[in-house]
Structure 1
Amino acid sequence: MYYLGIDGGGTKTAFILTNQYGEIIYRNTYPTIHYMQVGLNGITHIIREGLNDLLSVTGLHETLIDYAYIGCPGFGDIKDDEALIRDAIAHAMGPIRHRVGNDIENAHAGALQGYDGVCIIAGTGSIGMGVLGKKRIISGGWHHAFGGDEGSAYWIASHYIALLHKQMDGRHPQSSMFQFAVQALTHHFGDAAVNPDLIQLHNQRTHTAAFSKVVYTLAEAGDPYALEIFQRAASELIQIIRACCLEPDASVRVSYAGGVFESGNLILDPIKSVFPNTQAPVFTPDIGSVILAFKYADIPLSSRILNNLKTINR
């Protein structure tokens, strides 16, 4: 039998299929399945496309997939929408047994390998989850349009752009990196980025989030405004982690997922100063989805399965 993990993030959706021993059979990525970005029909279409590709490449019949776990961004944020998202996914999955949860659940399962603690996601968006025994708490994940997704790539990019605009119009003094930053902004977004009418950028969430990489480059080069934004981002993530703690800060095990953590010490050093038991993730979120597929199929994670999953994770 085979086990399918689907990890939906704010930018992309990862598919990973393993056999009963945790050996990889198929892996690929598709666009996000966040229903506020692609709609319910978009969820169905993207997951069905991924399944069709998987079955075509592997030559398997879908009845051979024993169980699948789908981590879906935005799932659970609005209770009235949960059934609609489940139906959209079920329509795509057909006869495959599956379970749907928020993408923080599989990120947590992967990063902490099922152990208690807090996992924080900071990718396109941000959200955290703490687990202690049967207790679970989620913090963050509020929609970016209302100032949520604090500390995420989108948050970092949009807040830096706001500071850059204040340098443009005289509200803040211009840093030594100002001209480079403006050139990078126009290269990324076009002339709209330096035009007061920015409404066309508001819905470009993924593209805006990608600009955070430029902000990181500026911070590494010493731009005080970029450094300020990363300090604020770390502070916001610390608040989310603290809200998820079900035990004292100094003892809680913390791990993480998402592209913002590629910024390394700019983000991790402030977090580790508050939460000294912060550790690198054991597995990526897509493998976390596979772990949950095994779990909900009542398949114990043997040392053979875990060793094979670790080989995939490299």
Structure 2
Amino acid sequence: MKQSAGYFLGVDGGGTKTAFVLIDRSGQEVARHEGGSSYHVEIGVEKLHVVLDQGVQSVLKQAGASTADVRFAFFGLPAHGEDSKIQPMLDLMPEALLGHRRYACGNDMICGWAGSLAGEDGINIVAGTGSIGYGEHQGLSARGGGWGEVFSDEGSAYWIAVQGLKAFSRMSDGRLPRGPLHELMVQEFALTTDLDLCAHIYAKSTPQRDRIAGVSRLIARAAASGDPAARRIFTEAGHELAEIVDGIRRRLAYRPGERVNLSYSGGVFQSGDLILEPFRQRLSACSADYRLISPRYSPAIGAAIYAARLAGAPLDMAVNA
């Protein structure tokens, strides 16, 4: 059998896109690919196989490598570990793509944690299409949130969008004063009447979850324009994300006074202080021990870092973020 050239493959799945990164043993990125959603709950297992196969083949072709050259891979997949019946199928899928078992599968929350903190102890909170937190501390690991958009995903783009849509309906009904949010929604969806929004939101198009989550960008614009309702939504989102983090901290058995390294990832945090300021405020009220750290590497790089760690070959972090 051909000896592995030592490449580490990281796959960071998500509800909107899936990132593939191949790095060598010195920690240098050699190939990258971005594919579509890998949220099997929405796209189905067969489509997931196609997305993963295309991504793996793309990075290997760019590097002039074969699957035998992959020393170890980590596939971070959304909703992994949340359905005992389908998980064995997800865990076996990479073997068909790689032709070997030098890989591991896990929830994509691990990618965000490993990238943001470079695989060191601490907690990471992800706020993208959905929201979820994950942390490790002295051999313990814990997750929080991530129960799906129907009754969880607090602080996520989907959650923010739903709260914004509620605010729009209240403004239209006269239950809230009309602010910039109302006009932005009318313009964005070219509404003849406010009720036409129902046709846009309830349209039977795919993927509906991502489409609704995209409305969060309008809520952010409204908040930046001074809309009180939109600003309240982002304040509540920051508080919700902080509550997820603090629940994880307690489960990881941090001692009072012990520093808790905390980082973040996901598109919602691109809103900057709009989300970070209320996030920090609620964290400070929960504990004085948090140390907020800007993400060191992307979740995709994090997946590769984690793959190297699982292979027993931690990287020297020379990788290009």
In the superposition, the TM-score normalised over structure 1's length comes to 0.90
Name the counterpart of 2:309. Answer: 295
Change (3 A) 1:129 1:109: same
CA offsets 1:33-86 (integer angstroms, 9 cap, x no match): 111011111121111111222233332221111111111111012233221211
Distance 2:196 2:77 in 1: 32
Change (3 A) 1:196 1:111: closer
Q: Counterparts of 1:168-207 in structure 2 under 5 Å?
A: 168-186=172-190, 193-195=197-199, 198=202, 200=204, 204-207=208-211
- 8 A Cα contact 2:31 2:60, kept in partner: no
Distance 1:301 1:166 in 2: 52
Distance 1:232 1:160 in 2: 12
Q: Tell me the matched-pair count.
A: 304
Are residues 1:232 and 2:232 paired? no
Name the counterpart of 1:282. Answer: 296
Name the counterpart of 1:253. Answer: 261
Q: Which one-letter code corresponds to 1:230 in the other structure?
A: F
Change (3 A) 1:191 1:52: farther
Change (3 A) 1:232 1:222: same
Change (3 A) 1:177 1:80: closer
Is the deviation greater in 11-20 or in 74-83? 74-83
2:37 to 32, 42, 56: 32
Name the counterpart of 1:111. Answer: 116
- State the SS of the aligned residue for 1:299: coil
CA offsets 1:203-235 (integer angstroms, 9 cap, x no match): 511122122112111101101111011011111
Distance 2:228 2:312 in 1: 52
Name the counterpart of 2:140. Answer: 135
- 8 A Cα contact 2:11 2:19, kept in partner: yes
Distance 2:126 2:144 in 1: 11
Name the counterpart of 1:102. Answer: 107
Change (3 A) 1:19 1:125: same
How far does residue 291 in structure 1 lie from its aligned partner after superposition? 0.4
Change (3 A) 1:177 1:99: closer
Deviating beyond 3 angstroms after TM superposition, the runs of 4 or more aligned structure 1 residues are 194-197, 199-203, 248-251
Distance 2:180 2:108 in 1: 40
Name the counterpart of 2:274. Answer: 266
Name the counterpart of 1:57. Answer: 62
How far does residue 199 in structure 1 lie from its aligned partner after superposition? 5.6
2:126 to 116, 121, 125: 121
Q: Which one-letter code corresponds to 1:155 in the other structure?
A: W
How far does residue 196 in structure 1 lie from its aligned partner after superposition? 9.3
How far does residue 177 in structure 1 lie from its aligned partner after superposition? 4.5
- State the SS of the aligned residue for 2:204: helix
Q: Which one-letter code corresponds to 1:46 in the other structure?
A: V
Is the deviation greater in 192-201 or in 75-84? 192-201
Q: Which one-letter code corresponds to 2:146 in the other structure?
A: G
Alpha-carbon RMSD: 2.2
- 8 A Cα contact 1:40 1:88, kept in partner: no
- 8 A Cα contact 1:120 1:256, kept in partner: yes
2:152 to 120, 135, 148: 148
How far does residue 3 in structure 1 lie from its aligned partner after superposition? 1.1
Q: Which one-letter code corresponds to 1:277 in the other structure?
A: R
2:24 to 19, 41, 47: 19
Name the counterpart of 2:246. Answer: 242
Distance 2:24 2:15 in 1: 27
Change (3 A) 1:197 1:243: closer
Q: Which one-letter code corresponds to 2:301 in the other structure?
A: I
Bigger share in helix = 1
Distance 1:117 1:281 in 2: 12
- State the SS of the aligned residue for 2:260: coil
